[in-house]
Structure 1
Amino acid sequence: MITLGCDYNPEQWPAAVWGEDVALMRAAGIDLVAINIFGWSELEPRAGEYDFKQLDHVVELLHQSGIRINLGTATASPPPWLSARHPEILPVASDGTRRFPGGRQAWCPSSKTFRRYALALVEQVAQRYGQHPAITLWHVSNELGCHNALCYCDESATAFRTWLARRYGTVDRLNAAWGTSFWSQKYGDWDEILPPRAALSLRNPAQMLDFRRFSSDQLIEHYTAEADVLRRHSSIPVTTNFMVTAHIRDLDYWRWARHVDVVANDHYLDHRLGDPAAELSFAADLSRGLAGGRPWILMEQSTGAVNWQPHNLTKQPGEMLRNTLTHVARGADSVCFFQWRASAQGSEKFHSALVPHAGTDTEQWREVLDLSAVLDRLGEVAGSTVQADVALLFSWESWWAAESEGRPSEAVRYLDQVHAAYRSLRQLGVTTDVLAPDGDLSRYRLVVVPCLYLVTDEQATAITAYVEGGGHVLVTFFSGIADENDRIRLGGYPGAFRDLLGVVAEEFAPAQPWARWSLDTGATATTWAEHLRTTAAEALAFHEGGPMPGRPAITRNRYGAGLSWYVATVTDLRDVLREAVREAGVEPAGPENDGSLEVVRRRRDGTTYVFVINHGTTEVDCGIGGVDLISGEDGPLTVPAGGVHVLKSVDVRKEAS
């Protein structure tokens, strides 16, 4: 089955409402409910005094109605008494100012005091509910690091030094890694080292990079501390909700993924982006990558508007269904919403919910019921896996390092290149797996490497060996530039990929972000050029204007048994990717289009499920055969504007065998 779930906060409502809520959940086909996410002040109103009566009641109501529970540990935000008693747990910003309670996550990830109180609460929760038959998933904290990932307090400084000592062993090795001979920064003792607090000038980029690594690891340590308590009392799977989205970058989820029993992600359409639907698809594919290709959980999404963007746009009729099935198409076997009932008070009172402020006599509630019915019809899809012949490499460390201080151009942003490459593949009808830079490339026909600024020797060697063995790779500019310590690879750009790509760039030539010029192919370029020459590659496009007229902008190189492409400017990637896809022998899942049509295939044994999602305003003849699991009709089918088909086809040869 495809699970439909939600986040429920009964503590915000009178007890008289709870029974009505559970009855409505049953009517809506809700299978899984997350509770006790922000319950700390209810469970422990005073230090060491626990009150579970309210939570017991809600757990039993859900259990008696056959609704499974995703039980939170309640530690996401400390109660007021804790920060009043121990103000030292409050986080400190890079400028040295302390951040106060009144919002959420007002705690330092390195605080031993906070962790001691949090684990005491988790122990109580785990002992009480660890064997309860309704609990099917543990939910540690909530969106760890959303607000407090980077803390610069003295306790964080001590923990940072400990982390560095484990990483480097000696201060001399740290000095070498950080390049501290620059600006007289050489350290003589661990106690001299601080977090990269606000300074009068540019700061040490290697120090800043390591501090981000440390900060992500500190939150992993907190997660695993809570998870260890839960696992002592229960065999139920443990997870937490990731934030794979365009505006959260502080956590390296490749490192996190190995610690969760199932990958869960929160995703909301971000209307600050040029193409929110494409970013949704990318986030879903990245979540599947974190899950190792296995099914994953969409822990949160919205029915309509959120409350935290400058302009909180609602969803149009049918958009919630299309968004949801995009996640399902790309590997989610559970889809959940924040939240069940729209809050009447608090910071999220204007955030949409399954039950809106206007109640159930609404179009939104009717869309919820329709979505539930559709998911019931798609139950057999659960457990199947997404089919992709193209991989895109994604690195949080490269994101951090590429956007550090003192870079060649602030107009060059990591996610812009990642999203541009992904969006072009999506428009070409190509389904893409998203992998870590050290992921297994062997099964892919084409690997796309956007802005992999930071790359280790091992990663670069593996990518090169993949191409030498017959693979195809496309690399975009500002890739291969630095090693894991943000030390520049000397000898010319693109550093680690010079031989693979058959090019050398003597210098970067960024342009003003508003500048536009032509390539000799008729395409438009902007933002970036390079003093580039070919050593073995064939130049496919040249700059006709801009900072480097006459220099190559796009190249192709035969390397071993494979083929490598290099795009050394900002331009529409569809033309070069179209050719790269063709030469790699990739068969697109659907037709090329403007991005309004998505076609994704999931497969299990001899059965294929083809998701055809029309985000556009005109009907589309998809030309794909099979039985539509939603309507029951036989394909090929025309997909109406805003419509969705999920077509099932069976490999006759597989069945016969």
Structure 2
Amino acid sequence: MTDHAVRRPPTLRFGGDYNPEQWDEATWREDVDLMRRAGVDLVTVGVFSWATLEPRPGERDFGWLDTVLDLLHDHGIGVDLATPTASPPPWLGRLHPATLPVDASGTVLHWGSRNQFCPSAQEYRDAALSITGDLARRYGRHPAVQLWHVGNELGQSCWCERTAVRFRSWLAARHGDLDGLNAAWGTAFWSQRYGRWEEVVPPRTAPYLHNPAHLLDFQRFCSDTLLELYRAERDVLREHSDAPVTTNLMGFSPVVDGRAVGAEVDVVANDHYVDPADPRSHVFAALTHDLVRSLGGGAPWLLMEQATGAVNWRPHNPPKPAGRLLTDSLQAVARGADAVCFFQWRASRAGSEQFHSAMLPHAGPDTARHREVRELGALLGRLDAVAGTPVPARAALVHDWSSWWASRGPARPTDRLRVEEQLLAHYEPLFARGVTTDVIGPDDPLEPYRLVVVPALHLLEPAPARRLAEWVRAGGTLLVGPGTGLVDRDGAVEPGRFPVRLRDLLGASGEEHHPLVEPSPCTGELGEFLVADYAERVRSDGAEVLAAHAGGDLDGVPVVTRHAVGAGRAWYCSALLPPAALDGVLARCLAETGLAGELDGVPAGVEVVRRGPALFVLNHTGGPVSVDLGATARRDLVGGQTLAGRTVLAPRAGAVLVEEST
């Protein structure tokens, strides 16, 4: 992240959302003093302050914000200044009801919460750009402002008539004319052919199943519309400020194409809230961090929001156990974050998030939670050696938002073949072995990687398929999972044996989807295991069969194949493998590529990641673990000791190891 106010070497930034409009000025002064004691040096201000900044149409109240920014700057705290456009004031909806969003059933959604806007409403766009422009003109050169933050967690959709008008324009640009649209959507089915553009509407509530191509294009349109709003605000900010501009993503959110957003921001930022009740949540967090880093091409990114303890929005909200605040934050830094921030600084007394944890709890600074916050602030100050450094990865998973959207349409062979679950299932064996992995798009370069995993790429276009084939021939190892390569860019089934565009590469092909009523026993070189939920009826077209179904309707049908192509190999898993079997497949893929983690024999629940000069070793378990750190003596930036060989890590604790000369 570029610090435009003070040009200095990269440092790890620490802080969180700050909402001073909820408090009086005396509290502001207490806050900045406590922030400095905690090591906070970056706060996000103004995310939900539109009604305070513009209490009536065209009226501006910037006095309180002037005071807050000056106060923060005087105490050495930088500001990520947000445009407040995620939550318009009530007067906008009252005076301009066309700005209110409409859901798929035609119900108007009113103010009283947040996100109460239609992204296609011109009155909303005008008001949003007006307040953004005034903020930029007033604070574009303020020394406290080191970063701009557009909106919040892009994700609003609308099905109103104004949206319909913009959707038609988007479709015309994509498909050319109605003939092109009808061909792409296959509207000969169910008498859906459109004769006039006015007949084309968003996929509103209908008597039965929607056309999946219609749903796919509407999801693309909604994502593009939100990105258009981001660009409009960003461009206004850039007219008056040279501070970098970002917005906060939500990792694997299906609402907006994170890869498209990542190409438009100056620095990628993300919100991630682990579930303390989920024993695999640290693995999913690592996968999400690797995704976010990859969205920025490997550049450092910002953890914009996480929780210090409990959230408020799950049905049951256990707090993080002692130590987890620290290990969660170190995990983000290990995987490329140059800022560790939280929602929020001071817990809110009123409103929907009053029971959400904060850096400063309701019970005040003399609390275990705030002591953990201070401990983290002090620790981050000792880790500046890793700021700005890369996270090397020689393995990659392929994930694409359009493909994900296409796979979520109605009337599929099964609802148990879920992209996000497949990503995690294929990632976990790599994580367990300490093999750092990027999460790339189908159009990204493959040359940096020895192993590429395609867990479930439902939609596969010709160019990425050709690049995969060329990369394998040149020596790469590819693993393809079930449900891959089934449809084209418009969501229409590719005719022929699937995956049509990869069958020559895989040396195997399928003819029928086979959701399972009962588990199917399988056997072969990978041992014996049971496949549940989903399989495909495939045949080998030259590939080596490493496991096959043994009994039942699929008796003898391959389930895992490997095909030598040029200097490389292409693996194909045509079923949802159980964890142990998938682990075995990935272990053999890694052996073929020579990829391995930094340490040998790492116990379950321990994460090992190299970033720049530092080796992060994190114990995510609730008990002590013994880890062999190798023969080289290295200094631990967490505890200050020099460590080597067999070392015991305390529960939910970690070490950050560097060479003594670092």
TM-score, length of structure 2 as denominator length: 0.95
Instruction: Give secondary structure in 2 for the equivalent of 1:377.
Output: coil
Is the Cα contact below 8 Å between 1:614 and 1:620 reproduced in 2?
Answer: no
Task: Check 1:515–1:101 CA distance in 2 against 1; reply closer, same or farther (3 A cut).
Answer: farther
Matching of residues 597-636 of structure 1 within 5 Å:
597-603=606-612, 608-616=613-621, 617-624=623-630, 625=632, 626-636=634-644
Q: 1:154 aligns with which of 154, 161, 166?
A: 161
1:281 matched to 2:281 = no
* Paired residues of 2:601 and 2:628 also in contact (CA < 8 A): no
Aligned to 1:554: 560
Q: 2:576 aligns with which of 567, 570, 573?
A: 570
Give 1:632 deviation, angstroms.
2.5
Q: Deviations over 1:293-322 (max 9, x none)?
A: 010111111101111111112101100100
Name 2:187's counterpart in structure 1: 180
Instruction: Identify the residue that residue 89 of structure 2 maps to in structure 1.
Output: 79
Whole-angstrom distance in 2 between the partners of 1:23 and 1:546? 70
1:587 CA displacement: 2.3
Residue identity matched to 2:543: A
2:556 counterpart of 1:531:
no
Q: Whole-Å Cα distance in 2 between the matches of residues 439 and 160 of structure 1?
A: 28
Letter in 1 for 2:267: V
Q: 1:228 is matched with which residue?
A: 235
Q: Which residue of 2 aligns with 1:298?
A: 303
2:172 to 165, 168, 172: 165
Displacement, 1:189?
2.4
What is the distance in 1 between the residues matched to 2:202 and 2:601?
48
Q: Which amino acid aligns with 2:301?
A: W
Q: 1:426 aligns with which of 427, 431, 444?
A: 431
Cα deviation, 1:408-440, whole Å, max 9, x if unaligned, reads 001211111111001121122211111011111
Matched residue type, 2:639: S
- Give the 3-state SS of the residue equivalent to 1:5 in structure 2: strand
| Structure 1 runs not aligned, ≥5 long | none
The 8 Å contact of residues 529 and 548 in structure 1, kept in 2 or not, is answered as no
Query: Counterpart of 2:538 in 1: which secondary structure?
Result: strand
Q: Distance in 1 between matches of 2:264 and 2:13?
A: 23
Matched AA of 2:96: H
Measured in 1, the distance between the counterparts of 2:315 and 2:569 equals 44
Of 438, 444, 447, which residue of structure 2 is paired with 1:439? 444
Separation (CA, whole Å) in 2 of partners of 1:162 and 1:592: 57
Deviation of 1:22 (Å): 0.5
Q: CA deviation at 1:591?
A: 3.7
User: What residue number does 1:402 align with?
Assistant: 407
Residue 642, structure 1, aligned to residue 652, structure 2:
yes
Q: Is the 8 A contact 2:487 2:493 kept in 1?
A: yes
Once the two structures are superposed, what CA deviation does each residue of 1:43-84 show, in whole Å capped at 9, x if it has no partner? 110001111111111111101111111101111100011101
Identity %: 47
RMSD: 1.6
The alignment status of 1:586 with 2:595, answered yes or no, reads: yes
Q: Which residue of 2 aligns with 1:452?
A: 457
1:588 CA drift (Å): 2.0
Match of 1:416 in 2: 421
Name the amino acid aligned to 2:181: L
Aligned partners of 1:249, 1:225: CA distance in 2, in Å? 22
Alpha-carbon shift at residue 265 of structure 1 (Å): 0.5
Structure 1 residue 497: Cα displacement: 1.3
SS in 2 for 1:117: helix
- SS of residue matched to 2:554: coil
How far did residue 196 of structure 1 move?
Answer: 1.1
Q: Do residues 461 (structure 1) and 469 (structure 2) align?
A: no
Deviations 1:483-520 (A, max 9, x none): 111121111112221111111111011114x7464445
Task: Report how far residue 279 of structure 1 moved.
Answer: 0.8
How many Å separate the matches in 1 of 2:486 and 2:315? Answer: 35
Matches within 5 A, 1:244-393: 244-245=251-252, 248-270=253-275, 275-393=280-398
Residue 443 of structure 2 aligns with an amino acid whose one-letter code is D
Secondary structure (helix, strand or coil) at the match of 1:166 reads helix
Any residues of structure 2 matched to 1:46-195 within 5 Å, and which? 46-145=56-155, 148=156, 150-195=157-202
Provide the C-alpha distance between the structure 2 equivalents of 1:545 and 1:41, rounded to a whole number of angstroms: 66
Greater shift after overlay, 343-352 or 8-17?
8-17
Partner SS state of residue 298, structure 2? coil
Distance 1:441 1:519 in 2: 33
Asked if 2 retains the 8 angstrom alpha-carbon contact of 1:489 and 1:495, the reply is yes
TM-score for the superposition, normalised by structure 1: 0.95
Contact conserved, 2:507 with 2:563, CA < 8 A, in 1? yes
Letter in 2 for 1:105: N
The alpha carbon displacement at 1:475 in A equals 0.5
Q: Contact conserved, 2:416 with 2:534, CA < 8 A, in 1?
A: no
Whether contact under 8 Å (1:629, 1:647) holds in the other structure is yes
Structure 2 unaligned regions, length at least 5: 1-10
- CA pair 518-440 structure 1, distance change in 2 beyond 3 A: same
Pair 1:272–1:113, CA change in 2 (3 A): farther
Equivalents in 1 of 2:406, 2:628: separation in Å?
42
